[in-house]
Structure 1
Amino acid sequence: MRKLIADIAERTLAAYVTTFLGLLLADGFDLTDISALKAAAIASIPAALSVIKGAIGVRLGDKSSAAWLPAGGGAPRRR
């Protein structure tokens, strides 16, 4: 369970940071501007969706991971 929570937390943090930095870069990277606060608020939306995706992944895929892929890493191999 701890591994699963750490997995979801890592995915959530990555989604937040990449979205926030992307919005700041697109806006000119001025942290003193009010748009930086808006970017921080907007970046929370994909992060929240990442938590939901992780919760769904536990049900659909590998039970010990937030991934949607089945245990074993993906599509079955052809022989």
Structure 2
Amino acid sequence: MSTNYWQEDLETMNREKLRELQLERLKKTVTIAVNAPFYKEVFHKLGITADAIRSVEDISKLPFTNKADMREHYPF
């Protein structure tokens, strides 16, 4: 019995397809995050929506979350 511990299709994907997958996943993450009250408020203040994410480089638009943010908005 042989088991692969890696995902060959992902790890051998060409760069263009990989960027498309990364962008798709980034948009999905933003869409999910906006359902959390903390991120909904932060993203709204910054005008961030999944539609505002047009490239992987747009990840730089997303704010950092630090320990103080987590403490102030517990349980997230």
Per the normalisation by structure 1, the TM-score is 0.37
Per the normalisation by structure 2, the TM-score is 0.38
